[in-house]
Amino acid sequence: MRTQAMAVLGLFVLAACPEKKPEGTPAPGQPAEAAPTPAPSSATDTIKFGEVGSLTGTEATFGKSTKDGIDLAVKELNEAGGIKGKKVEVVVYDDQSKPEEARTVVTRLITQDHVNVVLGEVASTNSLQMAPICQSNQVPMITPSSTNPKVTQQGDFIFRVCFIDPFQGQVMAKFARQNLKVNKVAVFKDQRSDYSIGLAEYFEREFKALGGEIVVEESYSKGDSDFKAQLTKIRAEKAEAIYVPGYYNDIGLIAKQSRQLGIKAPLLGGDGWESEKLFELGGSALDGCYYSNHYSTETPTPEIRRFIDHFKAAYGGTIPDSLAALGYDAAKVAADAMSRAKTLSGPDVRDAIAATKDFDGVTGRITIDKDRNAVKPAVILRIEGGKALYQTTIAP
């Protein structure tokens, strides 16, 4: 089992941290008694952060960015002496962007690797598969970025360091009504994503409450390649904006196809748009579109500035997206809780995470509320020329 975990570490973690020495067998020629065999070192010497991420598949940039953020946090933690005098080790598994796989690998993290905490997933549908398993094994789980409210409702061991979708939906509805002065909106959602279904509902509720009208609602399934039938129906209703709470992979194509059909209305979306790949896929079809997000690199608080500098230094100049920032924050919140926890048992770490108050994260000040969510502001970004430009911040 250990070999299997190390193989995964070798593949994903050591590759990113070339300076980290692999654990070797004792030097040849050492007498056996000179190396007294301690209890399995994995159980006592290190603290294990388990990570489940979409390192491949339709949402691959979500997993990759999150992993980079977590690795950077862990590198900093270890350089500062670790937690309670122990080094932190990350055991990461790829779920290939599939909910069933997320469930399988989180079980492995708990039963085989005996991790102290689980970090992940990004997509709410995947986190919803993992949460009941963490809950029933009393292993605390912190999702960096799943925003659907149901995730933390799975039990008192499940936390998040981001805001939730009732707020995120409200933010864009307000922005559309009050800033863009839009009256008629079409909604186009991914019917296989808990995130998309939830966010569409919260947006609609607020948009109507503010006097706006939802003129048409259509849906698609993640991974579809032709959206023209639904977009043609949307075009007929002459909406002034189209709310598309989906993931970047689909959004790029939806933007292109809507322009091909002559639709000029801007697309509006949520955090799921956040990816460098969005611009590759959507190109200029995305100009003038808006989405809500967790942070902007254009609003440099001291925490954001420091994070961007360190991240760029660690990853060849790459600018961290919000997934990286949230992954980093989740790992730091877990570490902070563990350093305060009475012991490293699941229930003690759980209590310490629940007591997190005014933690200065990259994505804002994090206080875990009674429902185990973080209450934080959202930013609105406008896309122009392949870049997401900061527009405004909306507080809860």
Q: Which is nearer to ligand PHE, 96 or 146 (CB)?
A: 146
Among 152, 322, 356, 373, binds ligand PHE (CB under 6 A): 322
Binding mask 271-300 toward ligand PHE (x if CB under 6 A, else -) reads xx-x--------------------------
How does DSSP assign 251-313, residue by residue?
Answer: HHHHHHHHHHTT--SPEEE-GGG-SHHHHHHHGGGGTT-EEEES--TTS--HHHHHHHHHHHH
Q: Give the binding range for ligand PHE (CB under 6 A) out of 28-36, 84-92, 117-125, 308-316.
A: 117-125
Reading the block at residue 17, the tokens are: 């941290």
Interaction between residue 146 and ligand PHE (CB under 6 A):
yes
d(CA 131, CA 118): 10
Contact between 230 and ligand PHE per CB under 6 A: no
Which listed range, 143-151, 259-267, 301-309, 353-361, lies at the site for ligand PHE (CB under 6 A)? 143-151
Bridge partners, 48 (sequence order): 89
List 97, 124, 152, 170, residue binding ligand PHE (CB under 6 A): 124
Q: CA triplet 196, 297, 94: central angle to 5 degrees? A: 50
Question: Of 152 and 257, which CB lies nearer to ligand PHE in the complex structure?
Answer: 152
Whether 125 and 308 have beta carbons less than 8 Å apart is answered as no
- Report the residue from 13, 49, 53, 62 that binds ligand PHE according to the rule CB under 6 A: 62
> How far, rounded to the nearest angstrom, does the alpha carbon of residue 88 sit from its chain's CA centroid?
21
Q: Based on the shown chain and the rule CB under 6 A, indicate whether residue 349 belongs to the binding site for ligand PHE.
A: no
Q: Rounded CA gap, 75 and 85, in Å?
A: 15
Cα(280)–Cα(272) distance, integer angstroms: 15
Mark 167-206 with x for binding to ligand PHE (rule: CB under 6 A) and - for no binding: ----------------------------x-----------
Q: Which residues bind ligand PHE (CB under 6 A)?
A: 62, 122-124, 145-148, 195, 271-272, 274, 322-323
